[in-house]
Each structure stands twice: as C-alpha cells, then as structure tokens.
C-alpha cells in the first residue's frame, strides 16, 4: 500500500510539475515577445514624432529583467509585470464552463502578465506614494492560448481563451489598446480635505516624500463588477 501511494504521489508530482514548467516557459516566452513588440512600438512612434517635428514628446522603453518592463509615452507609463508563479482559474470563473477547458482541465493553468498604468512623473520624481492602476491581465496556458481580463473600454477584453496561440499582432493590439486607454483618462484631483493640512517637516522634505498621492481617474469596471451588474 505504501509503495502504491508513493507511486501515485510520484506520478502526480511529475505530471503537475511538468505542466507548470511548460506554462511558465510559455509565459516567459510570450513576455519576451511582448517586450520586443513594445520596443518596436516605441521605435515607430518615436520616428513618426521626429518626422513631424514633435521630438520633445518622449517615448521610451526599458527592459528591466526577466519579469518587468516599462513603456513610457509622454505623461503615462505602462508597467508590464510577469508573475513567476502559475495559477488555476477558480471553479466559478466563466472560463471553467467553456468546452475548451472541459475537454482538458489542464488548459486552465495559466501564467499571468499584469499591465499597470502609472504617471511618468511618479517614477521621474520618485513619488513613492503615487498610485498605479491595473489595466489588464493577460493569461497564457500550456498551448500558448491567451485570455485577457481587463477594462471593457480598452477594446481588448477576451473572456475565454482564444482559439490560436498568441502572436505579435495580438500583443501589439493589447499594448496599443492599453496605451490608448491610459491617454484617455486624466488625473484625479486629490480631495480637498485630504490635503488641507501639511506639517513643517513635510514642507522641508522633497515633494517625492510628501504624503499627497497622485492618481488617475477611473471610468470603468472590472469583469467581476460587470457580471454582477448584469445579474
């Protein structure tokens, strides 16, 4: 009996570890592609701005390692973060009800790439209290099929895995949609009552260390909120 349990444990360990390793590698490969596409967008946009005499509008890309990258365009920055772990969707999630997942439940295991929008000045002036907002999450599974969970106004919301492996055209649409979304939403003015008092020590400190937060106006709901509203 002990031998049988050990074999079952070993078999499950190998299969699950192999699956997660495959999903992780797929996500890492896609993230590398995403960085290439983001840098290409930077190059194309910067060239067009220069040709039109608008070189003062800065567009910059920075590869910050295996799991992080930044795309800065004027007042906005997109921060791309790949999570190092693999996740499975909750059983109640809509994707778990699709024929694609029911046919092979292992397809629901996914790596995640998060896309956040920050103000460029938040990084430039090291304003550590400033807020960034999650614009989208890109999920990659063992077949490199993808699902995008995010803001409906961005135009790249996919509530189930696409029928083909993600490619550079898909990544370009996702990145450019996130850029358009970020540009369209402006600063949220801090409520008066939150900034009506300030101490002498805060005045003496640099603006980067002041307790005032800067954030952006939100005009959308996540998928969970949308479903609830529809119910």
Enumerate the domain spans of the chain. Answer: 2-223
pLDDT at 195: 65
Cα–Cα nearest to 159, from 83, 105, 224: 224
Dist. CA 108–CA 98, nearest whole Å: 10
Cα–Cα nearest to 150, from 98, 226, 87, 38: 226
Cα-Cα end-to-end distance for the chain: 50
Cβ pair 90, 102 in contact under 8 A: no
Characterize the bridge pairing of strands 215-216 and 187-188: antiparallel
Q: Please state the pTM of the whole predicted model.
A: 0.82
pLDDT at 33: 98
Q: What are phi and psi of 87, to 5 degrees?
A: -125, 160
Residue by residue, pLDDT tens for the chain (231 residues) are 666 776 777 787 899 999 999 999 999 999 999 999 999 999 999 999 999 999 899 999 999 999 999 999 999 999 999 999 999 999 999 999 999 999 999 999 999 999 999 999 989 888 887 888 899 999 999 999 999 988 655 555 677 898 899 999 999 999 999 999 899 877 666 677 766 777 776 666 654 444 555 666 543 333 444 444 343
Contacts of 138 (CB under 8 A, 6+ apart): 30, 112, 113, 115, 146, 147, 148, 174
Q: How much helix, strand and coil, in percent to the nearest 5, is found in the chain? A: 45, 20, 30
Residue 226: how many other CB atoms lie within 10 Å: 15
């Amino acid at each position: 009996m002990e031998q049988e349990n050990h074999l079952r444990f070993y078999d499950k360990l190998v299969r699950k570890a192999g699956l997660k390793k495959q999903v992780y590698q797929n996500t890492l490969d896609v993230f590398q592609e995403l960085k290439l596409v983001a840098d290409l967008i930077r190059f194309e946009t910067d060239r067009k701005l220069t040709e039109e005499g608008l070189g003062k509008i800065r567009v910059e890309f920075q590869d910050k390692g295996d799991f992080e990258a930044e795309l800065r365009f004027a007042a906005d920055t997109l921060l791309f973060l790949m999570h190092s772990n693999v996740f499975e969707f909750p059983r109640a999630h809509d994707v778990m009800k699709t024929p694609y997942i029911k046919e092979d439940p292992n397809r629901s295991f996914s790596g995640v790439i998060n896309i956040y929008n920050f103000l460029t000045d938040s990084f430039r002036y090291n304003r550590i209290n400033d807020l960034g907002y999650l614009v989208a999450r890109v999920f990659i599974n063992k077949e490199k099929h993808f699902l995008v969970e995010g803001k409906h106004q961005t135009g790249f919301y996919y509530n189930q895995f696409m029928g083909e492996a993600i490619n550079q055209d898909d990544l370009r649409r996702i990145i450019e949609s996130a850029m358009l979304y970020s540009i369209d939403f402006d600063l949220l003015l801090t409520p008066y009552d939150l900034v009506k008092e300030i101490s002498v020590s805060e005045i003496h400190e640099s603006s980067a260390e002041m307790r005032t937060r800067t954030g952006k106006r939100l005009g959308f709901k996540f998928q969970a909120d949308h479903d609830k509203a529809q119910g």
